[in-house]
Amino acid sequence: MSNILRKREMILFITGLAGGMMMFEYFFAVPAVATASTIVRNWAIIISTLALGLGILNAVRLHSGHIRKRTKSQWIFSVWLLGYFVVLTVIGLWNTKFIVYDWSFKYVYTSLSSTFYALTGFYIFSAAYRAFRARSIEATILIVSGVLILLRNAPIGEAIWKGFPILGEWVLMVGQLGGMRTLTFVAAVGLIVFGIRTLLGLERGYYGGVE
């Protein structure tokens, strides 16, 4: 049975059926197809949630391997991760309002997440310093546009000169809008082409090239 399910034709059949049903439902008002699509979408939501369990298994397998092999610079963090995971899982299943659980999310997870997000600012700063060099006319136009938008966003731009927000607004709402629409447009067409290739079975990468 598993050999039949793993065959390429079965994979393509399921992909084509699900994809075709969704496309049909999007364009045509046929209640039976709409109901079937609703059911399939609910299955997709359930599968997404179940997949979290797969992820947990992967993480546990990986980190227990590190602990077993005492991987240098890694194993102690794996102990910490798995230990914390077990503690929070047990407490969470028992009582999510318990102080340790609540505190971990409110004061540890939130702070760490915000910290990593804040890293972006620093890294953008160093990337801008390194990459924004006026090597050509196009690069110069890019830098000037970027500077105008920075001065439009920050109140200090208006404090320096009242024209900066006006110019920055023009760049944001007119100058770059055409390019932005083009990129959206082009990416969307490319995405649809990829979808059609997948439905027609021409896209082999995503299922591992199973024969």
Partner 1 sequence: MTLAKASCEFEHEYDQRSKRASIKSFEIEDESYLYAYTPFIRLKNSEDILLIISGRGFSFVVLVLMFVFFYVALQLAKKGKAPQIRRITAMDAIDEAVGRATEEGRPVHFTSGYAYATLSSEQGPQVLASIGILSHVAALCARFDVPIIYNTCIADSLPLVEETLRAAYRNEGKPESYDPKSIRYQPEQSPYVAAVLATLQRERPAVNMMIGGLYYESVVMGEAGNMIGATQIGGTANIHQMPFIIATCDYAMIGEEIFAASAYVTKDPLVTSGIAAGDWTKGLLILLTILGAVMELSGIPVISQLLKW
Partner 2 sequence: MAEVDRRVLYWGIFLVLVVPYLQPLGLPITVQETTKTLYDKIETMGPKNIALFSIAGGVSAWAEIQPSMVAVMRHLVRREVKVVIWGFFTDQDLTVDMVVVSVPELTTKYKYGEDWVYMGYLAGGETAVAQLASDVHAVFKADKYGTPIEKLSLMQRVKSAKDIDLVLTIDTGSYIGYYIRHWNVGKGTPVAEIGIAMQTEWLPYYPANLMAILIGVRGGAEYEKLIGRLGDGTVRMDAISVSHLVVIIVIILANLGYVMTRREKK
Residues that bind partner 1 (CB under 8 A): 23, 26-31, 34, 44-45, 47-48, 51-55, 58-59, 61-62, 65, 73-74, 112-113, 116-117, 119-120, 123-124, 126-128, 130-132, 180, 183-187, 189-198, 200, 202-210
168 contributes a contact to partner 2 by CB under 8 A: no
Residue 14 identity (one-letter amino acid): I
Q: Please count the other Cβ atoms lying within 10 Å of the Cβ belonging to residue 58.
A: 10
The closest alpha carbon to 150, from 130, 131, 124, belongs to 124
User: Which of 84, 105, 170, 206 contacts partner 2 by CB under 8 A?
Assistant: 105
Q: CA-CA distance, 92 to 90, in Å (whole number)?
A: 5
Interface map 79-98 toward partner 2 (x if CB under 8 A): --------------------
Q: Which is nearer to partner 2, 51 or 202 (CB)?
A: 51
The closest alpha carbon to 167, from 146, 184, 198, belongs to 146
Residues 106, 116, 133: CA angle, nearest 5 degrees: 155
Structural tokens at position 145:
């546009």
Taken in order 199, 194, 5, 47, is the CA torsion positive or negative? Answer: negative
Q: CA-CA distance, 57 to 72, in Å (whole number)?
A: 22
Interface map 118-137 toward partner 2 (x if CB under 8 A): x--xx--xx-xxx-xxxx--
Q: Which is nearer to partner 2, 60 or 147 (CB)?
A: 147
Q: CA-CA distance, 156 to 150, in Å (whole number)?
A: 10
- By CB under 8 A, the residues from 179 to 198 that bind partner 2 are 180-181, 184
Q: Which is nearer to partner 2, 72 or 97 (CB)?
A: 97
Contact 104, 89 (CB under 8 A): no
- By CB under 8 A, the residues from 49 to 68 that bind partner 2 are 49
Q: How far is the CB of 185 from partner 1 (least distance, A)?
A: 7
The closest alpha carbon to 17, from 27, 25, 6, 7, belongs to 25
Chain residues in the site for partner 2 (CB under 8 A): 38, 41-42, 44-45, 48-49, 105-106, 109-110, 113-114, 116-118, 121-122, 125-126, 128-130, 132-135, 143, 147, 150-151, 153-159, 165, 169, 172-173, 177, 180-181, 184
